[in-house]
Amino acid sequence: MLALQGVTAGEMRTVLTKARDFERELRGRRITPVLQGRTIANLFFEDSTRTRMSFSLAAKRLGADVLDLSSSDSSVNKGESIRDTAANVAAMGADALVVRHKASGAAALVARAVGTQFGTSIINAGDGRHEHPTQGLLDAFTIGESFGRLDDFDLTGLTVAIVGDIASSRVARSDITILNALGAKVICVGPPSLVSPSLSVLGCTVSHDLDSVIDRVDAVNVLRIQFERHSAGHKALASEGEKVGGATLAKMPALSSVREYAELYGLSARRTGRLKPNAIILHPGPINRGVEMTASVADGERSVVLKQVHHGVAVRMAVLELCLGAPRG
Ligand code: CP
């Protein structure tokens, strides 16, 4: 599972349907430990809270053993390459490697170097700006649940705005792919420096004016401003950080100021008041409160942010079972 691009709508629906069934089984505490005796290794070369913990929980719910490696306390610190690290963990008998890395293509590299040699499944848990396939799946699941589409995950007739730092976002690329495949319309919204017109090749429309689209969408997926992925110029300006919503943030070359970004693209009570009555607000997390949205919007009744996190466990159970369900050959 390296990316959603190249996966058919039918295959996406198979994962989502299995996730839906797992959620029902979890409510009834009737989970069969189908991965008993199998080993899942989390290889996280970049920070994570939600993805890492929910993959661990998903694996444990299915009876698997879980290994955890983070770059901060492993031999990666001594200069070991991602390829050698992955090969060593696969050699211990891991059946799946769940890989998070700041470089686009890292999971594919591990798959080429290790997957075939050891018969190990490789699951991309977010690679640079490329894709975050399980986030795309759980976002589609959450939208499907919110609009009563759990039977067929057909999202036809829904319009989703993806707002913010799309230039840096692997979540956006996975979301655009799955939402289009399931029939939704996608509008990417943000300043020209973060939302390129060329995104339209992915099958979405582009707008630089959130106020002109806010009243006609069914869901708004607000993306984090990824300060850590912006240019070195941004870091040089870090000492000029300004305080917005309690967080100390830096001025970014991509934007004239964080405060201006919050004014033009942040979800405030005033702006969310213009949404359709049933419209929902998503965010993959972590949230920069006061920048992408105010605290009251993040915690408000339209927010499905914690539902996304909840569904992430069942979605990852589905992915693990589909990748590993058959006994190792
Ligand atoms: N949504 C997401 O990927 O969050 P983490 O970075 O905490 O895993």
Whether residue 4 is contained in a domain is answered as no
Atom of ligand 1 nearest to the CA of 312: 1
Domain shared by 103 and 168, yes or no: no
Domain shared by 111 and 158, yes or no: no
Q: Which of 284, 279, 280 lies closest to 311 in space, CA to CA?
A: 284
Whether residue 3 is contained in a domain is answered as no
Domain shared by 201 and 233, yes or no: yes
pLDDT value of residue 239: 38
Asked whether 271 and 201 are in contact (CB, 8 A), the reply is no
- Domain residue limits at 273: 135-305
**Residue type at 241 in one-letter notation:** G
Q: Is the pTM of this model over 0.85?
A: yes
Whether residue 211 is contained in a domain is answered as yes
Domain shared by 313 and 300, yes or no: no
CA distance 173 to 20: 23
Whether residue 1 is contained in a domain is answered as no
Contacts of 232 (CB under 8 A, 6+ apart): none
Whether residue 2 is contained in a domain is answered as no
CA distance 5 to 2: 9
Substitution site in 42, 43, 48 for ligand 1 pocket (most atoms within 8 Å of beta carbon) = 48
CB atoms within 10 A of CB 104: 14
Say if ligand 1 is within 6 A of residue 49 CB.
Answer: yes
Say how many residues make up the chain.
329
pLDDT value of residue 231: 61
Domain shared by 159 and 180, yes or no: yes
Whether residue 199 is contained in a domain is answered as yes
Q: Check which CATH number belongs to the domain holding 315 and give it.
A: 3.40.50.1370
Contacts of 68 (CB under 8 A, 6+ apart): 41, 42, 44, 52, 56
What tens-digit pLDDT sequence spans the chain (329 residues)?
Answer: 999 999 999 999 999 999 999 999 999 888 889 999 999 999 999 999 999 999 999 999 999 999 999 888 899 999 999 999 999 999 999 999 999 999 999 999 999 999 789 999 999 999 999 999 999 999 999 999 999 999 999 999 999 999 999 998 999 999 999 999 999 999 999 999 999 999 999 999 999 999 999 999 999 999 999 877 776 444 433 333 444 444 444 444 566 789 999 999 999 999 999 999 999 999 999 999 999 999 999 999 999 999 999 999 999 999 999 999 865 54
Asked whether 26 and 52 are in contact (CB, 8 A), the reply is no
Say if ligand 1 is within 6 A of residue 136 CB.
Answer: no
Exposed/middle/buried for 176, CB within 10 Å: 0-12, 13-18, 19+?
buried
Domain shared by 60 and 157, yes or no: no
State in Å: Cα 102 to ligand 1 middle. 12
State in Å: Cα 222 to ligand 1 middle. 14
Domain shared by 85 and 227, yes or no: no
State in Å: Cα 218 to ligand 1 middle. 24
Whether residue 241 is contained in a domain is answered as yes
CA distance 204 to 321: 31
Domain shared by 53 and 114, yes or no: yes
CA 2 to chain centre: 13
Atom of ligand 1 nearest to the CA of 125: 3
296: phi then psi, degrees, rounded to nearest 5: -70, -30
- Quote the number of domains for the chain: 2
Say if ligand 1 is within 6 A of residue 50 CB.
Answer: yes
pLDDT value of residue 237: 35
pLDDT value of residue 254: 65
Domain shared by 158 and 292, yes or no: yes
Domain shared by 139 and 281, yes or no: yes
Q: Measure the CA angle with vertex 291, ends 285 and 292; round to 5°.
A: 50
Q: Which residues of 261-286 are buried (b: 16+ CB within 10 A; e: fewer)?
A: bbeebbbeeebbeebeeebbbbbbbe
Say if ligand 1 is within 6 A of residue 303 CB.
Answer: no
Domain shared by 58 and 74, yes or no: yes
CA distance 96 to 79: 23
Say if ligand 1 is within 6 A of residue 126 CB.
Answer: yes
State in Å: Cα 207 to ligand 1 middle. 26
Domain shared by 298 and 187, yes or no: yes
pLDDT value of residue 244: 44
Whether residue 329 is contained in a domain is answered as no
